């Protein structure tokens, strides 16, 4: 089977190429401009195939004829399927740009497909990737994939050219055709992979701001809005490939969307939950207004003085194009009747957004949230310095790595899992930082010795060591009587691993008479909350070691800083569902605390609550014990420690007094 694909290096295109190459004896020709040869090389490297299976065809869809005569003669009678994905999808595109690529480009590639039939009548099947946008932004009622020209309004360049390019295929194709209409295409449902801010991703920064500044326990109100026809890229591609190779499906269109899609309000609620933000407890209905009234309100608003300027300001503040904001109250209900029939019995179905939203959010926050703010003073202070960060592949360590690398430091990222570490190192480099990956299991002394030796061999010295890697166990002493190993492994990583790193870098710091050691400790060392005896003891040991070391190295210009970190929303606390209901810092806020330590070199950094708790324990220890005893009974033990993992997740929710206490005293590991 031989294929010709346009737009192969785009987001959907890359996944489509991968699926096509999985088919037996498949050869894929990729239409590329000469100026994009490097993109083809990257695609070929990613697919790990030779040019015999993945071959470039040099051409340009905006040019009449598309390819030269020699290439056309080579492909004639050889191609079984033409997949046309190349298009401009930019909600701020101009009409001229949309017409040139989306309309004229489609007409040119349809004409090319028409010429690829051979004399015996063998014709390729033309597969055109359109969009639900063919229904326009204001269509009201059911719009099925058996419908096309229903008199809908398509004024925006994107909606208009999606409609018109479909018409080109229907009217000008002399070969069999099939049209695919994906909804809002989001990242891969299993990996979260995505390459651009689009659709619901426009709202992610706003969601992040809400999560970071609004208490999680505070109930929010939203608006219901219209259906959001969402679909992950893996479903879109799997459905396309299956339908493309199924008999008796010619000259039909297929919506590629989730069954019963979420409304705009439901989608916002789903992503707020995925981000561990506050919950929307009620959405105000917006469909009760007749469409005519809505249109009149929009028309009156557009006539207000400076209406356009105000709309642009709102759009800029939210980071969302006006056309996306206008689609929030979409009144179309999409029916994928053709798709359901074509996929029947295939096992291919579109997962529900709530089942993979957290995967999308994690990928966005890790790979796409590249807006890293660093103070100018940090750049002046740290540029060119060598910084070692343990536990650097996630959470606090990863965010700190991004901030210090953005400021110009040479960041040596240390973590246990090589693949994850390399992935995060590449992300740091993508935002303009200089980073190096050093895989190391900090539970093993010989591994630490080898890692530190390699770092010194590569960089000759270390200016700043940030001991961030750690392991936490939430289990009461009576639940740990037969688990002494929990204490041993916690001490091994949190204490012995950290001081081994210090021991190995300390001589070179002393020789240069310069160095800074930052230990990420815990607010638990100050608050002494129950259930954390193993964790707090290991962190307190490191704290005591640092206090003893500090006067020994003061004359050598080596500073030590301990950060008594409050509860932070990191992978370390993710298994404890209780923490979904108590206030936490974000990794970015925690990273800012580390930046403060780098800049100011204080002896310690603690939250006001942590300092108050330490003073209170020194003055009124029995009062503290009484309060913590009450708190111990307010918060349930984990499912694992209670020994019956089949319990419902709801069993780990704190009771009302517990939630009130956590809100009044934010930060401790309850």
pLDDT tens digits for range 623-632: 878 777 777 7
Q: What is the mean pLDDT of residues 605-627?
A: 79
Could you identify the residue written with the tokens 């090589």? 418
Confidence category of residue 532, pLDDT binned at 50, 70, 90:
confident
**Residue 649 above 70 pLDDT?**
no
**Residue 307 above 90 pLDDT?**
no
CB 397 within 8 A of CB 389: yes
- Mean pLDDT, the chain, whole residue set: 87
CB 304 within 8 A of CB 290: no
Please tell me the least confidently modeled range out of 246-255, 377-386, 397-406, 472-481. Answer: 472-481
What is the predicted pLDDT for the residue at 633?
A: 66
H or E segment at 14?
A: helix 11-21
Question: pLDDT digits over 72-88, tens only?
Answer: 999 988 999 999 999 98
Distance, CA of 383 to CA of 586 (rounded, Å): 25
Q: What is the mean pLDDT of residues 302-316?
A: 60
Which residues, in sequence order, are bridge partners of residue 58? 32
Helices marked H in 33-120: 37-47, 69-75, 95-98, 105-115
How big is the chain by its Cα radius of gyration, in Å? 29
CB 9 within 8 A of CB 36: yes
Confidence category of residue 432, pLDDT binned at 50, 70, 90:
confident
**Residue 316 above 60 pLDDT?**
yes
- pLDDT: is 569 or 369 the higher one? 369
What is the predicted pLDDT for the residue at 646?
A: 42
Catalytic position from the list 535, 564, 579, 669: 535
First to last CA, the chain: 60
| Torsions phi, psi for 68 (to 5 deg) | -80, 170
Q: What is the mean pLDDT of residues 157-177?
A: 95
**Residue 525 above 60 pLDDT?**
yes
Q: What is the mean pLDDT of residues 6-19?
A: 94
Which of the 8 DSSP states describes residue 53?
T
Q: What is the mean pLDDT of residues 604-631?
A: 79
Task: Classify residue 52 as exposed, middle or buried by CB count within 10 Å of its CB (0-12, 13-18, 19+).
Answer: exposed
**Residue 555 above 60 pLDDT?**
yes
**Residue 31 above 70 pLDDT?**
yes
Task: Classify residue 360 as exposed, middle or buried by CB count within 10 Å of its CB (0-12, 13-18, 19+).
Answer: buried
User: What is the percentage of the chain residues whose pLDDT exceeds 70?
Assistant: 86
Active-site residue, 535 included: yes
What is the predicted pLDDT for the residue at 414?
A: 97
Q: What is the mean pLDDT of residues 268-275?
A: 92
What is the predicted pLDDT for the residue at 645?
A: 46
Confidence category of residue 585, pLDDT binned at 50, 70, 90:
confident
What is the predicted pLDDT for the residue at 8?
A: 93
User: What is the percentage of the chain residues whose pLDDT exceeds 90?
Assistant: 59
Quickly count: other Cβ atoms within 10 Å of residue 304's Cβ: 10
CB 244 within 8 A of CB 79: no
- pLDDT: is 575 or 253 the higher one? 253
Q: What is the mean pLDDT of residues 102-124?
A: 87
Which tokens is 161 given?
């050219």
Nearest Cα to Cα of residue 494 among 473, 474, 516: 473
What is the predicted pLDDT for the residue at 647?
A: 47
Quickly count: other Cβ atoms within 10 Å of residue 497's Cβ: 25
**Residue 406 above 90 pLDDT?**
yes
CB 28 within 8 A of CB 82: no
Confidence category of residue 293, pLDDT binned at 50, 70, 90:
very low
- Give SS3 for 116: coil
What is the predicted pLDDT for the residue at 283?
A: 80
Sketch out the chain's domains with CATH numbers. 2-200+228-262+329-354 (3.40.50.720), 384-664 (3.40.50.720)
What is the predicted pLDDT for the residue at 51?
A: 86
Q: What is the mean pLDDT of residues 436-456?
A: 96
Distance, CA of 27 to CA of 53 (rounded, Å): 4
What is the predicted pLDDT for the residue at 473?
A: 83
Nearest Cα to Cα of residue 457 among 442, 436, 441, 434: 436
**Residue 125 above 50 pLDDT?**
yes
């Amino acid at each position: 089977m031989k294929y010709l694909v346009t737009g192969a290096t785009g987001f959907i295109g890359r996944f489509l190429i991968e699926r096509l190459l999985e088919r037996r004896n498949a050869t894929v020709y990729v239409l590329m401009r000469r100026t994009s040869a490097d993109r083809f090389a990257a695609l070929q490297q990613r697919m790990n195939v030779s040019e015999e299976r993945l071959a470039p065809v040099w051409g340009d869809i905006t040019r009449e004829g598309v390819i030269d005569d020699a290439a056309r003669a080579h492909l004639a009678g050889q191609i079984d399927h033409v997949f046309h994905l190349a298009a401009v999808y930019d909600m701020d595109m101009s009409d001229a740009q949309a017409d040139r690529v989306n309309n004229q480009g489609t007409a040119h590639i349809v004409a090319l497909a028409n010429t690829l039939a051979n004399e015996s009548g063998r014709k390729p099947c033309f597969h055109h990737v359109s969009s639900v946008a063919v229904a326009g932004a204001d269509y009201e009622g059911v719009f099925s994939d058996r419908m096309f020209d229903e008199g809908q309004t398509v004024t925006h360049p994107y909606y208009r050219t999606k409609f018109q390019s479909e018409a080109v295929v229907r009217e000008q194709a002399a070969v069999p055709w099939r049209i695919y209409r994906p909804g809002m295409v989001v990242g891969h449902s299993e990996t979260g992979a995505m390459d651009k801010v689009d659709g619901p991703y426009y709202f992610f920064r706003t969601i992040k701001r809400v999560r970071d500044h609004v208490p999680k326990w505070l109930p929010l109100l939203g608006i219901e809005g219209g259906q959001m026809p969402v679909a992950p890229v893996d479903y879109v591609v799997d459905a396309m490939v299956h339908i493309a190779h199924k008999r008796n499906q010619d000259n039909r269109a297929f919506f590629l969307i989730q069954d019963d899609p979420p409304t705009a309000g439901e989608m916002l609620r789903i992503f707020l939950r995925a981000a561990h933000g506050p919950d929307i407890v009620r959405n105000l209905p917006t469909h009760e207004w007749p469409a005519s009234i809505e249109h009149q309100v929009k028309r009156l608003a557009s006539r207000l003085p400076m209406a356009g300027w105000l709309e642009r300001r709102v759009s800029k503040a939210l980071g969302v194009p006006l056309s996306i904001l206008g689609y929030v109250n979409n009144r179309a209900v999409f029916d994928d009747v053709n798709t359901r029939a074509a996929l029947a019995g295939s096992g291919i179905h579109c997962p529900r957004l709530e089942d993979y939203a957290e995967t999308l959010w994690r990928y966005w926050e890790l790979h796409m949230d590249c807006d890293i703010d660093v103070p100018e003073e940090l750049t002046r202070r740290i540029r060119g310095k060598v910084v070692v960060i343990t536990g650097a592949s996630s959470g606090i360590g990863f965010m700190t790595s991004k901030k210090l690398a953005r400021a110009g430091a040479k960041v040596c990222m240390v973590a246990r899992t090589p693949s994850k570490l390399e992935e995060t190192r590449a992300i740091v480099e993508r935002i303009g930082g200089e980073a190096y990956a050093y895989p190391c299991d900090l539970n093993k002394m010989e591994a630490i010795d080898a890692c530190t030796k390699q770092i010194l061999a590569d960089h000759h010295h270390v200016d700043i060591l940030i001991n961030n890697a750690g392991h936490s166990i939430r289990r009461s002493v009576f639940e740990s009587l037969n688990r002494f190993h929990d204490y041993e492994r916690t001490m091994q990583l949190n204490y012995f691993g950290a001081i081994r790193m210090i021991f190995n870098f300390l001589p070179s710091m002393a020789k240069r008479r310069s160095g800074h050691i930052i230990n990420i400790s815990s607010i638990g060392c100050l608050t002494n909350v129950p259930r954390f005896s193993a964790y707090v003891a290991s962190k307190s040991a490191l704290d005591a070691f640092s206090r003893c070391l500090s006067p020994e190295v003061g004359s050598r210009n080596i500073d030590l800083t301990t950060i008594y970190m409050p509860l932070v929303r990191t992978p370390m606390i993710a298994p404890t569902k209780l923490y979904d209901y108590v206030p936490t810092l974000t990794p970015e806020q925690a990273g800012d605390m580390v930046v403060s330590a780098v800049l100011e070199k204080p002896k310690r950094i603690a939250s006001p609550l942590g300092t108050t708790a330490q003073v209170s324990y020194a003055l009124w220890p029995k009062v503290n014990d009484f309060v913590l005893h009450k708190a111990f009974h307010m918060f349930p033990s984990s499912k694992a420690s209670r020994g019956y993992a089949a319990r419902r997740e709801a069993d780990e929710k704190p009771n009302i007094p517990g939630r009130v206490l956590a809100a009044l005293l934010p930060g401790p590991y309850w």
